[in-house]
Structure 1
Amino acid sequence: MPLTDTPVLVFLHEGLGSAALWRDFPDRVAAAAGLPAFVYSRRGYGGSDPVPLPRPMDYLEREARDVLPLVLEAAGIRSAVLVGHSDGATIALVHAAQDRGGVVRAVAALAPHTFVEDMCVAAIAKVRDTYAEHLRPRLARHHGANVDCAFHGWNDTWLDPRFKAMEYRPLLANITVPVTVIQGADDEYATRAQVDAVADGVSGPVRAILLPDCGHSPQRDQPEAVTNAILDLIRPLSG
């Protein structure tokens, strides 16, 4: 991808996601926006290289601070709209808070986690109980040889008592670019407090959307509403 000042939609997947698990959502948003899209699987996911386990407790911050800048540079992206889901939304927000080069133009954060909630830990523990019998065969279709790395790198880390100290709310004040935060009203991994934290913490323009009849994956449960919200976010950037 050549260097360009045209904003590129950069999609950052969830904790059990990959490039493929976005399905056709990036293509649909890119076509509606008339902008290029960049989708990739982080290390340990999809067809990317594996990572050593266990993951460090600050793995989300490391992805935001150390890895994502290198990915954007390697892809020739110098103007980005970050579209992140769950873990990917957290990475997007943390990266935007630390972006000193002005690469990030806006952030769409779908179901982000800026701190750890007890109900999220409880939901993740339930997933662990069904992994071997039910979830692993489904995930293997998207992660291949990385399936156990992807699952345990996410599940074991979130269930480690030390991960409870994960806290990114203080960083939000450093974000001055436009942010849209979207969460499902029926999100099984988060409460309204996550949306409020972003809405109250970001220094730049922010729009908070709570979608009815929607769980932890707004882009799957309410794709049209999420697409329209992203289009509203980027319209001032693309003219």
Structure 2
Amino acid sequence: MSDASLTLDGRRIEARLWGEITADAPTIVMLHEGLGSVSLWRDFPAHLAAATGGAVFAYSRFGYGLSDPVPLPRPLTYMHDEALAILPRVLEAAGIRRTILLGHSDGASIALIHAGGMQNFSLRGLILIAPHLFVEDISVASIEAARDAYETTDLPARLARHHRDPGNAFWGWNDAWLDPGFRAWRIDEYVPTIRVPMLAFQGSDDEYGTAAQLRPLETDSYCPVATHLVAGARHTPHLTHEAVVLALIAPFVARIRALE
């Protein structure tokens, strides 16, 4: 692992790189969840790099990890803003010319918006873990529970181990999702315009979403898509059921790289 941190418009973005970025093979770029960061991927990036034999790049979005904070409240378009405005600049600044996007939760939604909302001819595939394509009651209930935990437990201290400004990270995510206007948020309209293969995972016991999130991928995609419901997994199947997830990701990545 090496430090690959970037500066955009004078603002720091924390980033790490496993392996070496090359011009002839796609780099897996990791997009974290709504309360995630580089460090909250834990050992998964290293294991992913070993399983796929290629480079893995992870960064903390503004407001997360050791990246610079953002003004609050976040706009309800924050995932669109990241996908269409910031992510392309991160890829360019990091020198990544071919990429497979791997996103978890909010990060998976950002990957979908990016793939379906703009032309990125360097994009080769999507790996989606617990993607949100629309808002479900179970999502809102769990995010309300997270707010209560932040206000009544040691959650702020635990988040402080991974975020330079845990309040900026937490309230930027929590306030947006619990805004009444966010109930109308959905991104399944982007699925038919995606032009790369997709691999998607959902935990059978995910507290933030149900298998219904996978249905638009299965019914509306014009590109190859494989979906997997991971039995017994909650919102982080890549951590709790890592071997299962990696066993499916490795051949998916190998097939894409074979075409380069």
TM range (shorter): over 0.9
Partner of residue 53 from structure 2, selected from 29, 34, 40: 34
Structure 1 segments, 4+ long, off by >6 Å, are none
RMSD over aligned Cα, in angstroms?
1.2
Conserved? CA contact 1:176–1:205, under 8 Å: no
Structure 1 portions without partners, runs of 5+ = none
SS at match of 2:253: helix
Distance in 2, matches of 1:26 and 1:78, equals 19
Deviations 1:194-218 (CA, angstroms, capped at 9, x unpaired):
0112222222100000000100111
Higher helix share: 1
Q: Does 1:182 align with 2:201?
A: yes
Q: Which residue is 2:100 aligned to?
A: 81
Using the aligned pairs only, state the percent identity. 47
Conserved? CA contact 2:21–2:55, under 8 Å: no
Conserved? CA contact 1:10–1:82, under 8 Å: yes
TM-score (norm 1): 0.96
Partner of residue 232 from structure 2, selected from 207, 213, 217: 213
Distance in 2, matches of 1:99 and 1:58, equals 16
Distance in 2, matches of 1:65 and 1:216, equals 25
Aligned residues: 238
Distance in 2, matches of 1:212 and 1:138, equals 28
Q: Which residue is 2:116 aligned to?
A: 97
Q: Which residue is 2:174 aligned to?
A: 155
Conserved? CA contact 1:176–1:203, under 8 Å: yes
Conserved? CA contact 2:21–2:27, under 8 Å: no
Conserved? CA contact 1:4–1:76, under 8 Å: no
Q: Does 1:229 align with 2:248?
A: yes
Q: Which residue is 1:166 aligned to?
A: 185
Q: Which residue is 1:24 aligned to?
A: 43
Query: Residue 2 of structure 1: CA displacement?
Result: 6.0
Deviations 1:171-205 (CA, angstroms, capped at 9, x unpaired):
11011211011000000010111011222222210
SS at match of 1:167: coil
Partner of residue 139 from structure 1, selected from 159, 165, 173: 159
Comparing both chains, which one has the higher relative contact order based on Cα–Cα distances under 8 Å and sequence gaps of 6 or more?
1
Partner of residue 75 from structure 2, selected from 56, 68, 78: 56
Query: Residue 3 of structure 1: CA displacement?
Result: 6.0
Structure 2 portions without partners, runs of 5+ = 1-19
